[in-house]
Structure 1
Amino acid sequence: MATPTLSVEQQIKQLDEARKLVLSDATYYERIIQGILPIAAPGARVELRRWVADFLAETFASPWVPAHEKEKMSLIVLDTLKSMIENPQEDAAVVKSVVQTAASLYPVVVRRIINEPNDSQTWSKMLAIKLRILRIWDTATTGVRICCIKFAQRVVLVQTNGPAVDPRNGNPLEVSLSMVPPNHPLMPPMNLEAEASGLLDRMLSVFQENISDAVLVDATLNSLSILIRARPHIANRILNVILNFNPLKQANSPMTPKLRVMVKSMEKTTRSLLVHILKRDNQHPLAGKIQQYVERMMRSKSDIFDEVSRKRGPPEPTDGLDAAKRQKLAAQVTSAPPKFHVPPLDPGPHSVAELFTVTTDDALKAFDVAQLSEDMVVKIGITILQRIDVDMLNQAVEGVRKRLKIMSEIERLVVTSSTIPLDVEDDDDDYEPAEDTEQILNKLDAAPPAELVKLLPPAPEVALGKFKLPDPLPMSPEEVALAGRGVVDRLFGLMTSLDERDKKSKSAGFNRLAASTNDRDSWVTIITRIATRASAGLEEADGVKVEANRPTPFSMSNTIREEMYNYVFMDFRKRIDTAVQWLCEEWYNDRMQMKRGVDAILHYEKWVLRILDGILPYLDSQDRTLLIKFLGDIPGLSAEVLGRVTGLCVNPSTVNMALQSLLYLLVYRPPAKELVLAAVEDVWNTYEDARPVVVKLFVKYRPDYGERFKAAEGAERANGVPEVKEVAAT
């Protein structure tokens, strides 16, 4: 039996499901890519080829996919990318995504060729793709050319020398010319550097030629900003070209609305780039020229665009014609506007379309506007709005407003009549006093109009019973876990979107109101208290016995803790206060559980050590204040925490930071004095190179350090070894 062929929409729907799978678990990327590459064959539908190209561009640009996985997958997709980019009849959207993928792949492939100098086949494929992209740079559509500019920027970034940085703080994915060996058989450094210089000149040529496409100029400026920041040795070369560029040059030609927008866009992008450079480095060698250029550009822009408004003269009156200058049109102005009648609605319920239908032509009412295309509807609408009479439009709006008012009064009367209790017997039915004329007139005044009475629906004959919502369907553990993770994601998404505000000088402590202000700190307090106090004493429910084949039950508190750790670690230098606030809540919760005398699960020590293990490898000598603030603000210290700090003494550049942090704790946290001195003793016994610093900082508290240091210094001098102070100084 033949397998039924799926339509393009069904195939794309299945592909979207596969995309959702890899977004939730990045381990499936390789298998999904191997499965979708046959879909991008030359004879496939263009919709499928576009989806595959977009998915590849998204995959290799994703920061969640590890570098080694990207390198492995690059060997799989290079053939497909080569066939797509070399097809002269390929769809422009496919080519655009292929160029974006190549821009993400180029550093990955170069890193592989550096480590595998004999893999000539992979390098030849990448060279073919690069050559094709550089050929179509000037002839492709605007969207593809923007992607080509991005690819050229990535090639220049890879094939130029980067600044010398600490490998512990630098980007592990950084690839530069300094990583290429001088005698590499496939990538000679001299050739790579020459090619990068030529590509940079080609990018800068957009400022030297008479190019009127503001999109290309803005795209080039945005790409050059990264090169200026990441490659300082070519920054002055780029800035000199930009300072000779005049985005207002084309304003001398006849000013059309399109040209006006383009000139303003180029001027704003150029000025923003230069102002950003001044903000980053006030001592830049070209700071004076940049400041003069920005000021001259702002004056020129003001002169050019303000001159147009000055030539127009004072604005004409908009609320009527001037009687002194328009006397001949007075008769036309005073003439009565044409009468436009909007018929009232018939009795009964009505739709929104019937409410706004003001025409009486039945054939026009029966016409379905949905049959027209969107472009045609827009053109017809613009033409009608340009030619419609204002008075007639106002009368039509007033007629619709009266309809809406009548319908609201009908609804009010229906609600009022429906609230009268039914089947109520009046005990005083026999008593009917005579009504005078005034009472009868009052009843008639309070009665609804006759036209409204006709439109009212008949009164119900029976009373409605009690309404009860159906019981919700039971949820499986998997659905509960999925819903819980969705709640946590939304909480952290809201917290990330809030701007960080300056902290108040005084804090209310643990008794403060968590949601008193709608800022980031309030949401941090709410989230951390949900993770700690709300689930305090309920951890046993997380560890209940389950079947062997069933997954572990979902734990909201542990999920929030994991997300909070990831949130802090993503930018720990700015979010260290958030980490301290979270750990204070964990410490308080642990103490409350210990006070109750139950076998509670403690969390504070675990997450303090995990945060330290995460941030300590990325600290350098400039982060001394950050480490001191963290150790001084967390509520509890232990030997394990101080052991993590003393581990920084392995690196000579962080010895001072570690020991000064311990000295701060020794001076300002007296209860931790014995723990700190034990940690210092461990540093003395373990790291000999750190002993001069230990003597310098802690001789006041442990005088025996100075005596032991002098004895060791004398022994080394007697043995012909240079003095310890000299060794430490060097």
Structure 2
Amino acid sequence: MSFSPDQIVEQLDQAKNLAYTDASTYPQVLRQILNFVTSPESKIQLWCVQFLKESFVENKIANHSDKVDLAIDSLDSLVFLSNIPNLHIFKHVISISSVIYRLVFRYVAENDGCNPIWSKLTELKNSLVNKFQSNFPLEASDNEEFDLFRNIDTKIELVKFMMLVIDYQSKSTVINGSSSNGSVSPPPNTFSLNNVTTTHSLIKYSNMEYEAVNLLDLLLKTFSNNVIVAPLITATLNHFIIIMKRKPQYVTKILNMVENYDTNAKFQSNYQSLEEFKLAKKYVDRIFRVFLFHILRNNLVPTNYQNTLNKKMNQLVERGNDIRKKNIFVINEPNIRKRKFDGFLNPTKKIKTLDYKNLYCLNDINSDLNNFDLTSVPQHILTQMVVTALKKASVNKVTKALEIISERYTDAILGPGVAIKKEDADEDDDDDDVGENYNPETVYTLPPPTDLSFQEKKEHISIIIKNFFKLANNPNGISPEEEKVGDAEEGINKELTKTAINSWKKDSWLVLLTRLATRGMRSAVLQEDEDNEAEKSPDAKANEEMSDMIRTAIFDYFLDNIHSRIDLIIEWLNEEWYSEKVFNEEIQIRKAKAQKAVKQEASDDAIVDTPPVETAKVETPIYNKWAGKVLDSMIPFLEPNDRKIFIRLLSDLPYLNEDLVGRIKSLCLDPVRIKIGFLSLQFLIMYRPPVKDVCLKILTQLSESDQDDLREEAKKLLAKYSV
């Protein structure tokens, strides 16, 4: 008897619950679950990889020796999963492999002769590292530049893994960390080649260090691209700080790159707007400035580099100060150059109009070049132009072009366009006949308005949003034309204004726009399935999508100027939380009352005193989602002097949970912004008691870090507030 994927997942859930309930069964359960990894069903594979992540990354396995044994047993499964083209599975595999690599590498270092284990670990490492320059698990496109900006999240995860491999496969020392007798010891609580005997038969020093150098060179290639991929550059530089501290042998390579890197020499990508390119330059300059400040302050720079790097840092500081004084989007930068486009501007495989012009058009369909009449060019010149163009074009590009045209041709043959039938105009439309049919006793009523389609509703919402943001950009909140209202209309306008809002202020547009999103389009119509679980009706889903259009517009408006619009975002999120809480609370009360009425009817005694209606905890998923997006957008770009703004946001958010507070952890891990992270946690512990336990949990995790300053600061706060 074969089981469906849902039935198998249900059985796996039962096994997982058993392992969580009885820790002694955990190893046996995990080994049994590994047998399901090779299942062809992606649902089962995803469940298995999530369980492995919970086991290793989230430390569900208490016993260390069991964890090492299970890590070794999981190697084959991870190698298999690392080659499955599924984005979620692959990202989980990278996270798990970072933990597995540490455990198994140490095991092999302490137990020479484990050839099969070492071979499997090497296979897993190579499987992941070799995918860094590709877009796995996504398919490669025909355009190398486009691929640079795809799948960034996965590449950042791979950067973390590659940095771990570099750290483990090379010797560690600390710059200026010599002991009194002149010997140099590796940093405490770390593992590297220093901990491996030089006579080890499998972990050979020369091979390990050669691989580490090659991986470092591969990561440095990120900076040699002629376009700016800001998230990848930021992640790589942050890890380079740790590498420079532990691996002085690589300092020269990294500093040579830093010296030569200049955002002004980079091209604007064809997949970036001008505004996106300017922001990318700004934030990459900022991360380089922070990086230089940190390594110079902590004496990580050799003396022969200090002068040039000080000059570079001063140059970046001046550039940053100049940008702060002006609006980055208004500044005209004539030196910005766009990268030569290597792809096709019109790669669609379906044509709108059935003609040869659209069949063969691969450039911009609106380009004036398409209207050029080639018949006016002499045939011998035209032939020479075609031959020259074919010689210059790459084989891959010509093949891709022919593939697109072939697909268009096939689509046109199999599915020809339907001609639209035009109605004949009425010929008997004569205004002179109107008088004959006139009847003064007839009451004329207008026909009911036609229902708008969902697409039309979205278009109207877009117009409303644009009009509100025009008000936002007007310093007075109202246009000059509206101020010149005649005396005849003044009384009516005043009454209408009172109906809508008592007095129009500069930020009144935000009140109306947020309430339109949170209250105006919220539907209370619910459908109940057989299990009595409320599901959203189609109209409710459509309204929520339109509400999200408004939320996205407000969110994007905030991103344009985070520092000066923090009040706006606080007001919006407070309205979002309040409206959602009241709405969901009302639904819970109604549902509880209905259940209570049913119980009373079913009871033999009709007259019985029943306890008051109790409702469960009211969830606010929409607020949680957008509050998380706000934090995710702010945290990567916070500077050390932004701590007041960030703490202000944390203090005024109406609700915080473990997921939202957990985002602060990344600030603590950043050597430059560590103070913001710990100040924020300290503030929440002192002034927001509901999240105190969550903050202490984060501090406990940080107290186990291998970074000395991070560990000491976490332990100090734990000792002060854990009582």
Which has more radius of gyration? 1
Same fold (TM over 0.5): no
